Amino acid sequence: MDYAFSARMRALRPSAIREIMKNFNSPDRIMLAGGNPAAESFPLKEIRELSAEILTDKANEIFQYGVSEGYVPLREAVLARLSGQFSLPQGAGNELVITSGSQQAVDLTCRAFLDENDVVLCEDPSYMGALNIFRSYNARLVGVRGSSDGLDPEHLEELLKTEKRVKLLYVIPNFQNPSGVTTSLEKRKAIYALCKKYGIVLIEDNPYGELRFKGEAIPPIKSFDDEGLVVYCGSFSKIFSAGIRIGFSFASPEISRRIALGKQVADVHTNSYAQVLLHAFMQKHDLDAHVRGIQGLYRQKAALMLEGVRANLPECSFVEPEGGLFVWVRSPREDAFPFCVLAAKRNVAIVPGSAFAVNPDAPSPSFRLNFSTPSDEQMERGLKILGECMKEFLKS
Amino acid sequence: MDYAFSARMRALRPSAIREIMKNFNSPDRIMLAGGNPAAESFPLKEIRELSAEILTDKANEIFQYGVSEGYVPLREAVLARLSGQFSLPQGAGNELVITSGSQQAVDLTCRAFLDENDVVLCEDPSYMGALNIFRSYNARLVGVRGSSDGLDPEHLEELLKTEKRVKLLYVIPNFQNPSGVTTSLEKRKAIYALCKKYGIVLIEDNPYGELRFKGEAIPPIKSFDDEGLVVYCGSFSKIFSAGIRIGFSFASPEISRRIALGKQVADVHTNSYAQVLLHAFMQKHDLDAHVRGIQGLYRQKAALMLEGVRANLPECSFVEPEGGLFVWVRSPREDAFPFCVLAAKRNVAIVPGSAFAVNPDAPSPSFRLNFSTPSDEQMERGLKILGECMKEFLKS
């Protein structure tokens, strides 16, 4: 059958990770390619207790249809938590919509704003899941140059001046995926000022923000947002559980109304068990303390990985991340893809940089390593193998 | 702030139901407007037991990221159940993707197929949630005329001949929402033959199919599908729980691959607790027996409602539904909207027919009543009030 699929679908490609992972089923494989949180980060004991309680006390809330905006007590609890994390300009009314992960918050923002051939500006490289969202709306992606403290405001302004039909700017300001870069306060302010000057809506995606294990927290761009231009997307995937699929958008009432309408169209509402469970956890337990535990775990794991990178890949460079899940390593060669293939042959999975590029056909010198899921032993063994592969790669 | 929202969003309107329901908070209100399953239809006792088990035995499957296609044991169980319900033509390879309700299965099918200004053909009236999906892709909706045994194949062919860029046909063959109509076997075959002749993909949405409380089951259009043209969308909202958000698409491998890719983009995967829970229920309990219990409940409730409609609304006509959740009542006036407003003033919520129309500006003589959620007493009282409102309405 020769199907007339949409143009948007033809723009999507099978992910480079999946291609590399094909036939990657060996029992002694080492996965440094994932983006999963550590299994130890899920509060299982507490969840089991709470689950029995809510299935008795909140059965109708859990099993009947809910509202598209999300379970009201959870919305209130998340709002209260946000207000504890940062302050907003006077008079900035914002509303929260619970989504199926922050992935869906980004998707619904695009549904609200993007027409075909609109331009989305973003960091390059950036999170491939978001790039695929933009591609699936037939948007034109344009990458903004950046450095170790975030994207370059001069280049951003140049693009805002020259590109027609720019609708959205997409930024991950904390421990960016894949680069690990954190945007400085100065640059956050400059970026917001440009959005204001050119009337551009900014998607501030912050799934890793709470995973800071070093340095001081920097206020989100949303905290300067006195004109309602920022859609702040948050997630509980990395600080509570990924499989429960809970994230949220936090934006002006007008934008939130469109996001909620899109949510109703997309899947009616987010699954209620997870919403009620997360709310019960936030009521009865100390989520901040739980997050500090995860930060401690990742601090150790990141240190071990950086030590291994320094020892085994002395030819490579990297920006030391202050949080998140990843180390982004730059090889001395223009195209690190063959190195990733060598590693896969030795049963070590890593992600080639091209997977995160605005133009996935361009070669990338870099690759991404994940430290949250492998065991310490796997990490050490994996990095040793990567060191051997790098020697072979640089000889060829 | 003057936002540049997408054209697709401007095409969506706030739902007529929501407008009517505004300020509808009186404690003695009677809700005949909903589409919720009865609270008695959720197997709570079994869920509580299974929940404790799976949170111990399947914690990693539940709380870690899962695959976009869905939890493999659940996909296998649903496939096995489908094969017990109907047979497929020889050699028809089909695959299943678990979605966040059948709403999302329809949405992802549209993402796979629709470009702006493509035409979607559908029954008129039809499920407003699906009509809003099509509108949100900037598709042009064209209604096909129908009668008490389904849409008119002659009119369908006329439209297939004259309309340019028809991509999809959307049909709810069992106990259609809102009309309650069941498409006859003859018409199902004729509709499929036309899809084949004109190379059109058909979305067969079957959320109510298992809620048959009268007459014999008719094979789905999917059962004739020897060319992989039908995307069959199913749901567990009405036979297990709505709040868990589990549905699925069942289509050819090529279409399923696009749906899974769209799923990955939209929200990564469906929440895992609900997938693991539903699978455990299907393993350890008799879902068919549970469904028969729900059928019995709705048989009684539908009978009570039809009795009430005959007694209180003798001026109106209706097609007696053989299943589902709704009775679609036709008033003797061209526009029943003012009648719905009268009812709302008397604290009885019903849905005006225009809410389900392809052209929501056109008046509709009909309104939709729901019998699954109100208590028997509420139904009787509500219908009595509707009878009084109808007298007032017809006098005016």
- For the domain that residue A152 is a member of, what is the CATH number? 3.40.640.10
Q: How far off is chain A from B131, nearest CA to CA, in Å?
A: 9
In a domain, B5, yes or no: no
pLDDT recorded at residue B23: 58
In a domain, A6, yes or no: no
Q: What is the mean pLDDT of chain B?
A: 94
pLDDT recorded at residue A18: 62
Check whether residue A152 and residue A271 sit in a common domain.
yes
Tens digit of each residue's pLDDT (9 = 90 or more) over B291-313: 999 999 999 999 999 999 999 99
pLDDT recorded at residue B14: 63
* Last residue in a domain, options B269, B284, B299: B284
pLDDT recorded at residue B27: 77
Tens digit of each residue's pLDDT (9 = 90 or more) over B89-144: 988 889 999 999 999 999 999 999 999 899 999 999 999 999 999 999 999 999 99
Beta bridge partners of B338: none
In a domain, B7, yes or no: no
In a domain, A115, yes or no: yes
Check whether residue A195 and residue A319 sit in a common domain.
no
Tell me which of A104, A267, A269 to substitute to probe the interface with B (most B C-beta atoms closer than 10 Å): A267
Check whether residue B298 and residue B338 sit in a common domain.
yes
Contact A363, A340 (CB under 8 A): no
Nearest CA in chain B to A273: B244
Q: How confident is the model at residue B9 (pLDDT cuts 50, 70, 90)?
A: confident
Q: How far off is chain A from B89, nearest CA to CA, in Å?
A: 15
pLDDT recorded at residue B2: 86
pLDDT recorded at residue A2: 86
pLDDT recorded at residue A53: 96
pLDDT recorded at residue A25: 66
Check whether residue A148 and residue A232 sit in a common domain.
yes
Answer yes or no: is pLDDT of B391 > 80. yes
Residue B261: list chain A partners with CB under 8 A. 9, 12, 14
* Last residue in a domain, options B251, B284, B317: B284
SS3 assignment, position A127? coil
Check whether residue B261 and residue B343 sit in a common domain.
no
Tens digit of each residue's pLDDT (9 = 90 or more) over B134-171: 999 999 999 999 999 999 999 999 999 999 999 999 99
Nearest CA in chain A to B56: A48
Give the closest residue to A136 by CA, choosing from B258, B316, B368. Answer: B258
pLDDT recorded at residue A325: 97
Residue A67: list chain B partners with CB under 8 A. none
Check whether residue B160 and residue B205 sit in a common domain.
yes
pLDDT recorded at residue A12: 80
Distance CA A129, CA A123 (A): 13
Distance CA B363, CA B272 (A): 43
pLDDT recorded at residue B233: 98
pLDDT recorded at residue B12: 79
In a domain, B255, yes or no: yes
Answer whether A113 sits within 8 Å of B66, measured CB to CB: no
pLDDT recorded at residue A92: 83
Answer whether A255 sits within 8 Å of B113, measured CB to CB: no
Check whether residue B225 and residue B152 sit in a common domain.
yes
Answer yes or no: is pLDDT of B22 > 70. no
Answer whether B1 sits within 8 Å of A114, measured CB to CB: no
pLDDT recorded at residue A23: 58
pLDDT recorded at residue B91: 82
Between the two ends of chain B, the Cα-to-Cα distance in Å is 44
Instruction: Please give the backbone phi and psi of residue B249, each rounded to the nearest 5 degrees, phi first.
Output: -110, 150
What CATH number is given to the structural domain containing B363? Answer: 3.90.1150.10
Tens digit of each residue's pLDDT (9 = 90 or more) over B219-236: 999 999 999 999 999 999
SS3 assignment, position B257? helix
User: What single-letter DSSP state applies at residue B336?
Assistant: -
In a domain, B4, yes or no: no
Pairs across A and B, CB distance < 8 A: 229
Query: What domain range includes position B253?
Result: 44-284
Check whether residue B153 and residue B35 sit in a common domain.
no
Strands (E), A176-236: 201-205, 230-235
In a domain, A280, yes or no: yes
Nearest CA in chain A to B128: A265
In a domain, B1, yes or no: no
Check whether residue A242 and residue A150 sit in a common domain.
yes
Name the domain count of chain B: 2
Check whether residue A24 and residue A51 sit in a common domain.
no
Instruction: Please give the backbone phi and psi of residue B346, each rounded to the nearest 5 degrees, phi first.
Output: -90, 15
Between the two ends of chain A, the Cα-to-Cα distance in Å is 44
Residue A136: list chain B partners with CB under 8 A. 111, 262, 265
Answer whether A265 sits within 8 Å of B136, measured CB to CB: yes
Check whether residue A260 and residue A334 sit in a common domain.
no
Check whether residue A52 and residue A114 sit in a common domain.
yes
Nearest CA in chain A to B6: A113
Which residues, including other chains, have CB under 8 Å from residue B311's CB and lie 6 or more apart? B383, B387
Give per-10-residue mean pLDDT for chain A (396 aa). Answer: 86 67 73 90 95 95 93 97 93 93 97 94 96 94 96 98 96 97 98 97 97 97 97 97 96 96 94 97 97 97 98 96 97 96 93 93 95 96 98 94
Distance CA A137, CA A143 (A): 17
* Last residue in a domain, options A284, A317, A352: A284
Tens digit of each residue's pLDDT (9 = 90 or more) over B325-348: 999 999 999 999 999 999 999 999
Element (H, E) at B151: strand B150-151
Exposure string for A292-302, b = 16+ CB within 10 A, e = fewer: eebbebbeebb
Distance CA A335, CA A394 (A): 11
Amino acid found at B312: N
